[in-house]
Amino acid sequence: MSGEKVASEATSRVGVTAYTILAAAAVLAAVALFIAGARPVQALPSYARQTGQQCAACHNGFPELTPYGRQFKLNGYTWTGGTSNLPPIAAMAIPTFTNVRKGVDGGLVPGFGYNNDFAFTGSLFYGGKIFDGLGSFAQVTYDNVPNTIHWDNIDLRYAIPSELFGREAVFGVSANNNPTVNDVWNSTPAWGYPYLASELAPSPGAMTLIEGRFAQQVVGLNPYIYWNRLVYAEVGGYGTLSPRTLTTLGTQPEGTSAFQGIAPPWRLAIEPAWGRNTWEFGTFGLATNVIPDRMTGMGTDHLTDVGADTQYA
């Protein structure tokens, strides 16, 4: 009887193991098919519904915008033309699998294994017209690496088409929470490579101030003008949010620094056009005194970041 019992238990364990392997294989196959069939995010479906245009009307690829796409963003995401009555809401899901050449002792991050780990992020967007002249690109994200829900990139715009010196002009203002996310050429750091990345993957420890170090930690107003479809100019100011506000918005304040007062950003670009071709060249930057680790009374670091960009289409 004892031998029969051991054999039965062994058979049961083999059955459970086989079932677990099959289940894992099915999950991996489903994820592989999902990833193989996925495409980079190219446009918010809510914008396509609102305008009645295909995604290619605004995007040549991600994240580059067409002239129509730039005008749509400059004019506050408010252009219409579609017939859909659905609310301006869209969603995005990004599963990732991270493999590094050598496993990391203690895990890639707390709560995850030393290598070969899956992670998941999902976002909801409110993107489109709110009322005449005012529209939004607003993102809220769940990230299962820190297991938090937090505000993500926000760009609220109010714009007025007008004239200046007898030429077409757009006057507007962007309220946003990530320096350079409001750029209409999407050629600045907020829209830079690698576009989408796993938080489990090792990342560079050093970067300039404007390369995302204060993303979702600030709020700013950026007045701008786009004149004669040729010259774009913008200047504004950013202020850092308090640790309590960051916590409320789902952003961890530990290890963050702060601006001393208001940090002014700028953007200047010229885009001549001939036929169906355009060539943009410009500069952007941010200057501020930084309070390291928010330790007041210990002095500040003065930093000025200056960048240049160009784009041909």
pLDDT tens for residues 65-103? 999 999 999 999 999 999 999 999 999 999 999 888 887
Confidence of residue 186 (pLDDT cuts 50, 70, 90): very high
Question: Which are the contacts of 225, defined by CB distance < 8 A and separation ≥ 6?
Answer: 164, 169, 170, 171, 172, 231, 232, 233, 234
| Domain housing 16 | 8-38
Confidence of residue 113 (pLDDT cuts 50, 70, 90): confident
Q: The whole model's pTM is what?
A: 0.82
Least confident of 70-84, 106-120, 147-161: 106-120
Of residues 206 and 49, more confidence is placed in 49
The answer to whether position 173 is within a domain reads yes
What pLDDT is recorded for position 1?
45
Confidence of residue 260 (pLDDT cuts 50, 70, 90): very high
| Claim to verify: residue 31 and residue 72 sit in the same structural domain | no
| Claim to verify: residue 137 and residue 27 sit in the same structural domain | no
Specify the number of domains making up the chain.
2
Contact (CB, 8 A) for 164 and 226: no
Q: Pull the structure tokens for residue 24.
A: 């894992």
Question: What is the C-alpha to C-alpha distance for residues 53 and 254, in angstroms, rounded to an integer?
Answer: 43
Query: 94 burial class (0-12, 13-18, 19+ CB within 10 angstroms)?
Result: middle
The answer to whether position 78 is within a domain reads yes
| Claim to verify: residue 183 and residue 105 sit in the same structural domain | yes
Question: What is the C-alpha to C-alpha distance for residues 257 and 137, in angstroms, rounded to an integer?
Answer: 26
Confidence of residue 220 (pLDDT cuts 50, 70, 90): very high
